[in-house]
Amino acid sequence: MDYRQEIERRRTFAIISHPDAGKTTLTEKLLLYGGAIQLAGSVKGKATARHAVSDWMELDTPGHQDFSEDTYRTLMAADSAVMVIDAAKGIEPQTRKLFKICAMRHIPIFTFINKLDREARDPFELMEELEKEFGIGTYPVNWPIGCGHDFKGVFDRDRREILAFQEFHRGQNKISAIECELTDTERLDELIGHLMWEKLVEDIELLDGASYEFDLDAVRAGELSPVFFGSALTNFGVEPFLENFLSMTTSPLPRETAEGAVDPMGEDFSAFVFKIQANMNKAHRDRIAFMRICSGKFERDREYLHVQGGKVLKLAQPQQMMAQERAIINEAFAGDIIGVFDPGIFSIGDTVCAPKHKVQFEGIPTFAPEHFSVISQVDTMKRKQFTKGVTQIAQEGAIQMFHAPNSGMEEVIVGAVGVLQFEVLEYRLKNEYNVDIRRRDLSYSFIRWIEKTPKKPDELNLASDTRWVQDFHGKDLLLFNNEWSIRWAEQKNEGLELSEFSRNW
């Protein structure tokens, strides 16, 4: 197989959901059906987050709903997203946040409505909620017949037949559903009962008349979400979902760089770093940088250019995750996610490419953190370690680092999406860098990047509690206590443009 064929058959997607909707379960079941699925690091949301923390932090926080920016970043590496929704709950807060990122990138979104083997909300109501809240169209590829104890299966709208769910499917590894045409009334009576059958005919009539037409271009533009109903736990609906998903998604798409779009089929290797994971091994302060390959073929023995560092180097210990196993690889292709050993040189968003063909990818947006603290080292002699530690941890994207302009690094403001990240920071500085810190939480809850300003930031007309800071790219930001002061800043300073995320371009 030549490298073009290799690229052609790849699909790179992210599975996202509010915690507990069933992302991990669905991922496991997809692995069962689609033998060749590779996991990029910790796709397992809740389960792995808990695991990763307890591994090196001896701090177990079961059910902790802390949310890190990693989830957002995974979406930047994917070409499409699968959004898992709990049928009893519908859209939940984290689903909303994640959807925003998908919408910003215009990537296709597939919806898997899960847990139909339990009591569920009315499917029409769920469709309406998706359309209203997210402003996209929905196209139910199949339709549920009952739920909970009365869950009988789904109706496949394209094939016009029923896939029946049987109680004995529970717990089996792989099931083949029973297929039956909608016109086979005798068999239908037997499989789902007369009442359910009547209700189904009514539902389908309504759906066919009132729902969006299927339009593949709209799906690929992220404007129409194909919806599937199922139960990941019992494997029901997973196989048809995978089949449809594969036929509707595309092979790796071109990616934007400062030099124009990069064609995935291009011969020259290029990739960008979207996630950095600190190594669990305390003795070696090394990390794994995960990168998405955007074009060409990666070869283990070749040297590549790390654009931001300005150095040509071999990527050491290149690896991929296959199910739960990590394996060293010799080659990889556009669309693949690989992890490489990082001696502390990479930052989120960095480009690695063929030395002869230099490109630089669009950075990964940084999202506005919601919690802020001022930190400083207890022992002033340890300033160097402190600066190095905070900077490295910020490079990994575990926290964001800000400072007051012209103030040096004595006091650093750190921001995080979830408060648990501050504890992680404190612990890691102590254990990996041998630095104790003082931490004082700040009352700010909002931060905005200054996109455009009519004056120097310190000359703006701002509420008295608004504060000017810079990030470690040197960009100007404003810290606010409440939305009221944001509005004040915008209203009192004509021409001031603020943004909730930084494109890091």
Q: Which spans of this chain sit near ligand G4P (rule: CB under 6 A)?
A: 17, 19-25, 45-47, 114-115, 117-118, 231-233
Q: Residue 146 has which token pair? A: 């009952």
For residue 17, the minimal CB distance to ligand G4P (Å) is 5
Q: Which is nearer to ligand G4P, 171 or 209 (CB)?
A: 171
CA distances from 378 to 371, 383, 389, 446 (A): 22, 9, 14, 28
Query: In whole angstroms, what is the distance from residue 158 CA to residue 207 CA?
Result: 12
For residue 118, the minimal CB distance to ligand G4P (Å) is 5
Query: In whole angstroms, what is the distance from residue 325 CA to residue 319 CA?
Result: 10
Query: In whole angstroms, what is the distance from residue 435 CA to residue 444 CA?
Result: 26
Please report the DSSP string for 247-310 in residue order.
HHS-SPPPEEETTEEEPTTSSS-EEEEEEEEE-S-SSS--EEEEEEEEESEEETTSEEEETTTT
Q: Which is nearer to ligand G4P, 122 or 303 (CB)?
A: 122
Dihedrals φ, ψ of 192, to 5°?
-120, -5
**Number of Cα atoms under 13 Å in the Cβ half of residue 308:** 19
Q: Which is nearer to ligand G4P, 20 or 423 (CB)?
A: 20
**Structural contact between residues 212 and 127, judged by C-beta atoms closer than 8 angstroms:** no
For residue 236, the minimal CB distance to ligand G4P (Å) is 8
User: Which residues, at least 6 apart from 67, have a Cβ–Cβ distance to it below 8 Å?
Assistant: 94, 97, 417, 418
CA distances from 259 to 110, 122, 256 (A): 31, 49, 8
Q: How far is CA 24 from the centre of its chain?
A: 14
For residue 418, the minimal CB distance to ligand G4P (Å) is 15
For residue 94, the minimal CB distance to ligand G4P (Å) is 10
Cα Rg, the chain, nearest whole Å? 25
Q: Which is nearer to ligand G4P, 24 or 249 (CB)?
A: 24
- Beta strand residue intervals within 96-167, DSSP E: 109-114, 137-140, 142-145, 153-156, 161-164
Indicate the pairing of strand 287-295 with strand 325-328.
unpaired
For residue 493, the minimal CB distance to ligand G4P (Å) is 43
Q: Which is nearer to ligand G4P, 167 or 217 (CB)?
A: 167
Count CB-CB contacts under 10 A for residue 213: 9
Indicate the pairing of strand 255-257 with strand 260-262.
antiparallel
Q: Which is nearer to ligand G4P, 118 or 187 (CB)?
A: 118
Query: In whole angstroms, what is the distance from residue 148 CA to residue 161 CA?
Result: 21
For residue 230, the minimal CB distance to ligand G4P (Å) is 7
For residue 43, the minimal CB distance to ligand G4P (Å) is 9
Count CB-CB contacts under 10 A for residue 440: 10
For residue 65, the minimal CB distance to ligand G4P (Å) is 10
Q: Which is nearer to ligand G4P, 24 or 295 (CB)?
A: 24
For residue 169, the minimal CB distance to ligand G4P (Å) is 11
Q: Which is nearer to ligand G4P, 238 or 291 (CB)?
A: 238
